[in-house]
Amino acid sequence: MAAPIAQFEEWQIALHGRRVVYRIAGSGPPVVLIHGMLNSSSHWQSVARNLARDHTVLAPDLIGHGDSAAPRGDYSLGAHAASIRDLMTAIGIDRASIVGHSLGGGVAMQFFYQFPQRVERLALISSGGLGREVSPMLRTAALPGFSALLSATIRPRLLALMTRTGHGLRERGVSGGVSLQAIARALRPLENAEARQAFLQTLRSVIDVRGQRVSATDRLYLLETIPTMIVWGERDNTIPIAHGRLAHEAIPHSYFRTLANAAHFPHLEDPDGLSQLLREFVQDTQPGLIEDADWGAVLARRSPRSRRLGSAAA
């Protein structure tokens, strides 16, 4: 008899006086799924239900995304990482395998840097923060005045038309239909003014007109004792697959996998393929563990010794 499909239930909690929405499913070793910009926890549904057969799967709506509160405040990677730490603590999850997509990959890496003792494994899916290059559309969104443009152009009828047109193109085998549907899906949350401002604050914290302005490449060596897997869609035109290959070379003992049928959203475009990769990764690796007391030793292995700056004249 086939196992019943896990319910990916939506919950709400107040953290620091603000609404945080999350979804959770299954039981077993915890896996945390972190979505990207213009996504929410609901976009992980297929992957979460698959993994929930053997794991407790937690997927939060990042602050300013989905149904979580969108306050005026800090939308940096560090702030998102701290919010996930607080949510895990509040619901009783101490350590987990951390999975992040796109912006969520940057949040996942920042979570590791801030709270290494809480990370058992790290999986980066078409991740941001691994190079400067990014799609022209995202660079354009960082321009001044883009908020007014969004307000003027995003309308329910327009998004519905884009969705129908994209569906029609896909039915006729036109590849651009997938991209058009993805754009409509991404823009739909921005009908709300608070969500638009949260999106722009989040985007501008990591991207400017020249590309990605936040990079984790100088600290990837710190992952040498943490099982790490990098996954990329082979048709990704948002963030170059070369970023993933270079990160794989920089992270000792890491895994690099690609999905031929996916572009920038593998969890939506090929959820079965991504789920299989994640399940194999967790099953085939032992959890990493870095205690607080060990962090100095991890840094020292690659960092030069400190020296006192003398004041005497040469």
102 is catalytic: yes
Domains of the chain: 9-133+213-300 (3.40.50.1820)
The pLDDT tens digits for 193-250 are 777 778 778 888 888 788 888 899 999 999 999 999 999 999 999 999 999 999 999 9
Looking up tokens 């702030």 gives 79
Mean pLDDT of 273-277: 98
- Of residues 200 and 181, which shows the higher confidence score? 200
The pLDDT tens digits for 5-45 are 678 999 999 999 999 999 999 999 999 999 998 889 999 99
The active-site residue, picked from 68, 102, 254, 275, is 102
The active-site residue, picked from 264, 267, 270, 275, is 264
42 is catalytic: no
264 is catalytic: yes
The active-site residue, picked from 236, 243, 254, 270, is 236
